[in-house]
C-alpha cells in the first residue's frame, strides 16, 4: 500500500516538479522583463486570484472523493451532480466579474484599464473550476499517468506562450506585441494553456449528464462548505502577506524601494519556498483518495503514521538542500540582482511550508470522521495569527516579518491539529523523530549561513559539504532505526 502511494506520489510529483521547474524559467523571464513594481502588480493580482479559485471550487473536490467512496452512492451520479454545480456557479461568477470588471479594478486601487485583467482572470477561474472534477476523477480512478501528462501539457504550453508573448514577439513580431497589455500577457498565456487541456478531457465531458438534484446535492454541499471556509482561511495565510506589505510597510522602510518594489521582491523570493510545495502538492494528489479508501481499515492509524514519517523526511531534505544552496539558485533563477535582496525570507518560508505539509497529513482525521468544521476552525485560527503577525512584525522587520508570521501560523495550525486529532482519531505519530530532523536541518542551515567564504565556489563547496553531511547523518539515523538499533 505504501509502495503504491509512493509511486503515485512520484508520478503526481512529476507534474508538480516539472511544472514548478519550468515555471521557474518564467521567474527568470519575468524578473528580466519587468521591474519589481510591475512584478509586484501581477503578484498582487495572482494573490487575489487565489481567493477566487477557492470560491469557484468551494470544497467540491474533497467532497467528491468523500461521497464517491461511499458504497451506497453511484459514482457517475455523484460526478454529474458535482460537475453540474461547478459549471453553473463558475459561469455565474465569471459573468458577474466580467460585468463589474472596472469596479473590482478600482477596488484594488488600479485604474479602469486594469479591468481587462479582471475579465481575463474571471475566465481563467472558470476554466480551472470546470476542469477540477474531471481531474479529480482521474485521481479517484488511479489514472495518475494521464493526470500528469495533461498537467505537463498545460504547463509546457503556459511556459512557451509566456516566452512567445514576452520575449519572441517584442523582438521578431513587434506588430503582435501590445505594450499596453504588458504583464497581462502572463494571464493570457495562463488562460490559453488552461483551455488547451479541456479537449483532452472530452470523454469525461461526453459521459457527463447535467444534473441539478438539490436533494442529493445538499449533503455534499454541507460536507464541502466548511472546506470552502478552510480554503479561504488558508489563502489568507498564504497570500495576504502581499497586501500587508503593500499597505502596511512603512514608506521608505527599504531605501530607494517603493512598497510595490518590496511586494515584487518578496513574491520572487517566495517562489523558492515552492520547492517544498512541490512535494506537498504531489503528495496531496495521491494521498487524498488514498486516505479515504483506507479510512475503514483497522490498521489505518499505523499506516497514516508511516506515511507522515516519510513525508517529513523528504521535506526536511528539501528544507536543508534549498536553504544551503540559495547562493547558487539565485544565479539560476533571478535575472535581476535586485530581487536577491529578499532571500533571507526563504528558510523561514521553506520551514513554514514543511509545517503546512505536515498539517495536511494530520488533517486526515477530520476528513475521514466527517468533522470538516474543525478544518474551518483551524483555518481561521491560522488566519488570525497571520493577520496579527503581519500587523506586528512588518513595521519592525519588513517582509522578513511577514515570512516569520507565516512560519508561526503554520506551526501553530500543525500543533493544534495534532492535539485535536489525537482526541478524535488517535494516530501513533513519531513526534520525536520528526522534530529532531527539523532541528538537525536548522542547525546545519545556521552553520552555513553564519560561516561564509568570500570566494563563490569555495563557499558553494562548503554548502555542498554541509548538504551531504546532513543527508549522511539523516540516512545513518534512519538506517539504525530500520535495523532496530
Cell 483551524 appears where?
A: 378
Instruction: Determine the pLDDT at residue 437.
Output: 92
283: domain range?
2-482
Instruction: Determine the pLDDT at residue 485.
Output: 45
314's grid cell? 523528504
Tens of pLDDT along the chain (485 residues) come to 545 544 555 555 555 556 556 666 787 788 888 888 887 888 778 877 878 888 999 889 888 988 887 888 888 999 999 999 999 999 999 999 999 988 888 887 776 567 888 899 999 999 999 999 999 898 888 787 888 888 888 888 999 999 999 999 999 998 888 888 888 899 999 999 989 988 888 888 888 899 888 888 999 998 888 778 777 777 776 777 888 888 889 988 998 888 888 888 898 888 887 777 766 766 666 556 666 665 556 667 787 788 888 888 888 999 999 999 988 888 877 877 888 888 999 999 999 989 988 888 888 778 777 787 888 888 889 889 999 999 999 999 999 999 999 999 999 999 999 999 888 888 888 888 889 999 999 999 999 988 888 888 899 999 999 999 999 999 888 777 766 54
Number of domains comprising the chain: 1
Q: What values do phi and psi take at 316, rounded to 5?
A: -65, -40
- DSSP, res 167: I
In sign, the C-alpha dihedral spanning 99, 105, 107, 108 is positive
Cell 538542500 appears where?
A: 321
Instruction: Determine the pLDDT at residue 349.
Output: 92
Query: Is the separation of the CB atoms in 333 and 24 below 8 Å?
Result: yes
CA distances from 372 to 186, 229, 415 (A): 35, 10, 17
Query: Is the separation of the CB atoms in 67 and 220 below 8 Å?
Result: yes
227's grid cell? 472546506
Nearest Cα to Cα of residue 344 among 250, 266, 406: 266
* Burial track 330-345 (b if 16+ CB lie within 10 A, e otherwise): beebbbbebbbbbbbb
Instruction: Determine the pLDDT at residue 181.
Output: 87
Instruction: Determine the pLDDT at residue 320.
Output: 93
Q: Which long-range contacts (CB under 8 A, 24 or more apart) does 425-432 make?
A: 425/301, 425/364, 425/365, 425/366, 425/368, 425/369, 426/301, 427/301, 427/304, 427/305, 427/308, 427/364, 427/365, 428/301, 428/302, 428/305, 429/305, 429/308, 429/309, 429/362, 430/305, 430/309
Nearest Cα to Cα of residue 360 among 419, 426, 280, 421: 280
Residue 102, judged by CB atoms within 10 A of its CB (0-12, 13-18, 19+), counts as middle
Q: Which long-range contacts (CB under 8 A, 24 or more apart) does 444-450 make?
A: 444/320, 444/324, 444/469, 444/470, 445/319, 445/320, 445/323, 445/324, 445/347, 448/323, 448/324, 449/323, 449/347
Nearest Cα to Cα of residue 147 among 9, 290, 23: 9
399's grid cell? 517582509
Nearest Cα to Cα of residue 419 among 389, 384, 374: 374
Nearest Cα to Cα of residue 40 among 345, 247, 198, 212: 247
Angle at 235 between CA 232 and CA 238, to 5 degrees: 160
Separation CA 188–CA 164 (nearest Å):
12
Instruction: Determine the pLDDT at residue 56.
Output: 93
Please spell the DSSP secondary structure of 85-141, one letter per residue: HHHHHHHHHHHHHHHTHHHHHHHTT--GGGHHHHHHHHHHHHHHHHHHHHHHHHHHT
Separation CA 341–CA 319 (nearest Å):
20
Instruction: Determine the pLDDT at residue 99.
Output: 93
CB neighbours of 253 closer than 8 A, spacing ≥ 6? 262, 395, 398
Nearest Cα to Cα of residue 466 among 484, 450, 480, 483: 450
Separation CA 257–CA 408 (nearest Å):
27
Amino acid at each position: 500500500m505504501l509502495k503504491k502511494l509512493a509511486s503515485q506520489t512520484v508520478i503526481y510529483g512529476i507534474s508538480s516538479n516539472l511544472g514548478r521547474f519550468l515555471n521557474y524559467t518564467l521567474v527568470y523571464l519575468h524578473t528580466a522583463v519587468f521591474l519589481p513594481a510591475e512584478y509586484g502588480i501581477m503578484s498582487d493580482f495572482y494573490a487575489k486570484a487565489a481567493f477566487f479559485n477557492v470560491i469557484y471550487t468551494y470544497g467540491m473536490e474533497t467532497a467528491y472523493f468523500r461521497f464517491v467512496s461511499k458504497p451506497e452512492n453511484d459514482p457517475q451520479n455523484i460526478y454529474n451532480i458535482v460537475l453540474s454545480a461547478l459549471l453553473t456557479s463558475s459561469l455565474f461568477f465569471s459573468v458577474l466579474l466580467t460585468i463589474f470588471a472596472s469596479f473590482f479594478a478600482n477596488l484594488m486601487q488600479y485604474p479602469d484599464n486594469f479591468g481587462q485583467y479582471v475579465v481575463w482572470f474571471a475566465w481563467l477561474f472558470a476554466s480551472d473550476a470546470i476542469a477540477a472534477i474531471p481531474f479529480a476523477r482521474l485521481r479517484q480512478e488511479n489514472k495518475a499517468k494521464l493526470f500528469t501528462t495533461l498537467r505537463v501539457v498545460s504547463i509546457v504550453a503556459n511556459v512557451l506562450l509566456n516566452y512567445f508573448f514576452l520575449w519572441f514577439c517584442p523582438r521578431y513580431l513587434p506588430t503582435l506585441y501590445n505594450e499596453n497589455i504588458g504583464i497581462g500577457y502572463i494571464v493570457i498565456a495562463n488562460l490559453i494553456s488552461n483551455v488547451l487541456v479541456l479537449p483532452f478531457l472530452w470523454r469525461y465531458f461526453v459521459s457527463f449528464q447535467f444534473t441539478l438534484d438539490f436533494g442529493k446535492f445538499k449533503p455534499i454541499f454541507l460536507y464541502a462548505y466548511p472546506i470552502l471556509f478552510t480554503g479561504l482561511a488558508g489563502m489568507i495565510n498564504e497570500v495576504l502577506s502581499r497586501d500587508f506589505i503593500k499597505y502596511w510597510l512603512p514608506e521608505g522602510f527599504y531605501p530607494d524601494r517603493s512598497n510595490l518594489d518590496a511586494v515584487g521582491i518578496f513574491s520572487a523570493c517566495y517562489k523558492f519556498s515552492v520547492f517544498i510545495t512541490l512535494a506537498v502538492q504531489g503528495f496531496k494528489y495521491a494521498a487524498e483518495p488514498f486516505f479515504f479508501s483506507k479510512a475503514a481499515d483497522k490498521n489505518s492509524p499505523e499506516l497514516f503514521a508511516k506515511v507522515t514519517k516519510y513525508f517529513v523526511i523528504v521535506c526536511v531534505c528539501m528544507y536543508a538542500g534549498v536553504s544551503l544552496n540559495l547562493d547558487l539558485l539565485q544565479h539560476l533563477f533571478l535575472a535581476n540582482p535586485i530581487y536577491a535582496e529578499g532571500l533571507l525570507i526563504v528558510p523561514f518560508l521553506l520551514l513554514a511550508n514543511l509545517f503546512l505539509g505536515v498539517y495536511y497529513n494530520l488533517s486526515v482525521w477530520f476528513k475521514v470522521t466527517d468533522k470538516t468544521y474543525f478544518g474551518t476552525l483551524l483555518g481561521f485560527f491560522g488566519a488570525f495569527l497571520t493577520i496579527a503577525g503581519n500587523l506586528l512584525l512588518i513595521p519592525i522587520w519588513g517582509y522578513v516579518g511577514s515570512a516569520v508570521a507565516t512560519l508561526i501560523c503554520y506551526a501553530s495550525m500543525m500543533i493544534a491539529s495534532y492535539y485535536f486529532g489525537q482526541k478524535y482519531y488517535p494516530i501513533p505519530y513519531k513526534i520525536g523523530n520528526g522534530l529532531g530532523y527539523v532541528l538537525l536541518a536548522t542547525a546545519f542551515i545556521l552553520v552555513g549561513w553564519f560561516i561564509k567564504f568570500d570566494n563563490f565556489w569555495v563557499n558553494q563547496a562548503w554548502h555542498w559539504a554541509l548538504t551531504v553531511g546532513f543527508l549522511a547523518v539523516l540516512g545513518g539515523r534512519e538506517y539504525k532505526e530500520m535495523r532496530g538499533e
